[in-house]
Amino acid sequence: MSAFDQAIRTIQFLSADGVEKANSGHPGTPMALAGITTEIFTQHLRYVPEDPTWPNRDRFVLSCGHASMLLYSTLFLAGYDLSLEDLKQFRQWNSKTAGHPEYGFAPGIETTTGPLGQGVGNAVGMALASKLMSARVGPEIIDYTVYCLASDGDLMEGVASEAASIAGHLGLDNLILIYDDNKITIDGTTELSFSEDVAKRFEAYGFATERVDGHAPEQVRSAIERAKARKGQPSLILARTTIGIGAPTKAGTSKAHGAPLGAEEIKAAKIAAGWPGDVAFNVPEDARAPFKDRAAQNRILRDAWKKAVAGLDADKKRTLDGFLNRTVPADLYEQLQKSLDGKADATRNTAGKVQQKVAALVPSLLGGAADLAESTKTTIKGSPDVHRGEFAGRNLNFGIREHGMAAVLNGMALSGFFIPFGSTFLIFSDYCRPSIRLAAIMHQRSLFVFTHDSVFLGEDGPTHQPIEHLWSLRLIPNLDVVRPADGLECAAAWTHAVTRTNGPTAFALSRQKLPELERPANFDPARVLDGAYVLADAPNAELTLIATGSEVHVALAAKKILDEKGHPARVVSAPCWDAFQRLPTETIESVLGSGTRRVSIEAGSSLPWRTVTGERGINVGIDRFGASAPAERLAEEFGLTGAKVAERVLSAL
């Protein structure tokens, strides 16, 4: 048996053994894809296992993350920092080998996959990032290729279709998508639900397609070589495979998909393959040889790359370093404050103006909108749009593909070069949510700019008026939601978003005009960065009015009435409740006032605020769907004017 074939068998049976030991997992797909993965890693992929973040490495994305043992077994043989013991700890507490690949758990895992279709979207973002960087520093510095393995389930999910459409439109010829066409899902054969011609669909997107026998290495190799040489089109290779290949009674059936094969089935499969039937986690030394040979070749490429970088002129070297570090000026907040004009305006407009200054100071910031740039105010002025073959610009047109946009953003962030943003209305964050959640899990600096943040967008009515969305997003761990009330808070929001290196940020910006807030004399603008701060105080305050965004000026108006009525009130503006909650408890209490009665004021769901305001709290919000009417009428009807809020508070005292 050749070393190449030994590598395939080793991956197949390490995967089956890992699932069996865990008594949980998906053995069939790793067994089916072991040959294709071995081909990619030993013949095509540009990687150096001891230098896993080499910027110009090729990226390998396992979109069908349920086949995670395939990735772990391959990385182990390839020499990455994964041990045989790690493979034996598959799906166990604190293991590097989680049930689905988790970015950051082990080197070589390029993205967190498992929710089907997301890996395809990430791969598109990674491929796009390569093109964008090549346009900035030259193809001799960045020109990597992205290889993505996808399953039937990936290609059924809408997010993959949206992302693939973007890839085809932009002609991302450095994207090679390999479809594991095994005709099996958990419930049975794909005939139950999936009868379309996938090749024709992807040809319509703009992909070049071809079919191969996934178990014929020469066919797979030739198809990949053609894809690598192809210009102007991404490639889809439809590889026909047999799930659980070699398993005597379960191969080609759904029984090989989502459950261990069983000890006897694995033993029989091993014996039939000429493998020791009674030995689990068997690793012949020859199985490593093809990977070692490839890594040795890649080290030569990596060292040549380092020399090329060292030979760059000072300006281009500075440019490369700026993108690699995603450099943000230390005095960004101060510079943004100087750019404020102090005029009343919608925060979508004010934040848009602030963003122009951010873009001038942070070259790694780029992004676009889901066909709403005119409304979200996110177009970077002075920069062209990105088009097929033209990647020097900073404005991306994602089309009406919110789900795909968000997944692509994560891939761009994972590339290590960019701080990407995407924008749409807050109501459509529902379409982005799975990708937002994954950005939070992966601690990626993906930015989501949402405008039209409340019922006060007005006449479009309840289908476009977000109610539960602010808290729905705040409930995602590690996502920071910023809802600024005026210019200074917009400057703080953008500062927070681009300097936060361990997670994503979502903006919630108003369509309607908001007044500039008056702050106390000697107010320290740094307090805004805390996430919540005392905007207006009162001696011996009896009440603390907590408000966000467009309701802050309402809280100030209510305070004036309450003060006059003998109920002195403090107003706390809370542009980023998530950041505020990370402060020490004593700091939080000092802002909220431990002895005051708390009132929340926000044009959205009020129930979660009760955890903040407590049993005696008063919660002013909207706990029903909105209505189609002018914003002023909606404010009256929903009780979100200063007078109405004061009346509500007084009635509860």
Q: Is the Cβ–Cβ distance between 480 and 652 less than 8 Å? A: no
SS3 of 340-363: CCCCCEEHHHHHHHHHHHHHHHCC
Tokens 């593909």, residue? Answer: 401
Residue (of 350, 585, 317, 315) closest to 485 by Cα position: 350
- Active-site residue 402, yes or no? yes
Instruction: Give the whole-angstrom CA distance, residue 430 versus residue 399.
Output: 17
Instruction: List the end-to-end C-alpha distance of the chain, in Å, as a whole number.
Output: 83
Instruction: Give the whole-angstrom CA distance, residue 23 versus residue 549.
Output: 50
Specify the length of the chain in residues: 653
Identify the sign of the CA torsion 163, 165, 170, 175: positive
Q: Is the Cβ–Cβ distance between 479 and 505 less than 8 Å? A: yes
Quote the tokens at residue 522. Answer: 């000697």
Instruction: Give the whole-angstrom CA distance, residue 91 versus residue 68.
Output: 10
Q: Which of 20, 102, 402, 551 is catalytic?
A: 402
Enumerate long-range contacts of 249-256, CB under 8 Å, 24 or more apart. Answer: 250/28, 251/28, 252/182, 252/184, 253/184, 254/184, 254/185, 254/186, 254/187, 254/188, 254/189, 256/27, 256/28, 256/31, 256/184
Q: Is the Cβ–Cβ distance between 235 and 227 less than 8 Å? A: yes
Instruction: Give the whole-angstrom CA distance, residue 390 versus residue 373.
Output: 20
Which residues are annotated as catalytic? 402
